[in-house]
């Protein structure tokens, strides 16, 4: 009877290890953004930094941030008004797959100061800064594959 119990425990441990290994292997194709993750588009690499996650290739760099739910688009825009400059805010919302992506351009005296993208998914708010060449396919991959990490320690 003791051999049966040991055998069952070994099988359970092997199953748990296999599940963990599969999740860890799959996460190598994902980038963590706070408590969430996104799939890395083909040809891109990711680097986690203190202030966000950078996903880039030789033409484009995306920096993604997971924000508090209170960080709505209005509060992000309000930061510029609080800075005291004469800013003009232009925002447009685009459907990007299953998620609406809002483009926000901040201008001061007809000069573009900042452009960022904002979207909500899984009851979280995400901000994306873009440098370089626009790549709609990569943006769509990042936005539509944003998920809450099912296993937070991976």
Cβ–Cβ < 8 Å for 20, 152: no
In tens, the pLDDT along 19-32 reads 766 655 454 568 88
Domain boundaries, the chain: 32-148
SS3 of 41, please? coil
Task: Determine whether domain 32-148 maps to CATH 3.40.1000.
Answer: yes
pLDDT digits (tens, 9 = 90+) for 62-100: 999 988 766 666 676 677 667 666 777 788 898 888 888
23: CB partners within 8 A, 6+ apart: 150, 151, 154
User: Counting Cβ atoms within 10 Å, is residue 83 exposed (0-12), middle (13-18) or buried (19+)?
Assistant: exposed
DSSP at 96: E
Report the distance separating Cα 110 and Cα 128, nearest Å: 23
pTM reported for the whole predicted model: 0.71
């Amino acid at each position: 009877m003791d051999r049966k119990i040991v055998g069952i425990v070994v099988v359970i441990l092997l199953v748990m290890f296999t599940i963990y290994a599969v999740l860890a292997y799959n996460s190598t194709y994902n980038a963590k953004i706070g408590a969430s993750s996104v799939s890395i588009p083909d040809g891109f690499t990711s680097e986690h930094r203190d202030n966000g996650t950078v996903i880039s290739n030789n033409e484009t760099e995306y920096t993604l941030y997971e924000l508090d739910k209170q960080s709505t688009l209005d509060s992000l825009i309000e930061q510029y008004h609080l800075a005291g400059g004469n800013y003009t805010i232009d925002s447009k919302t685009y459907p990007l797959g299953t998620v609406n992506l809002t483009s926000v351009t901040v201008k001061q005296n007809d000069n573009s100061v900042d452009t960022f993208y904002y979207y909500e998914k899984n009851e979280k708010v995400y901000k994306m800064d873009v440098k370089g060449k626009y790549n709609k396919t990569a943006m769509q991959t990042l936005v539509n594959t944003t998920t809450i990490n099912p296993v937070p320690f991976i």
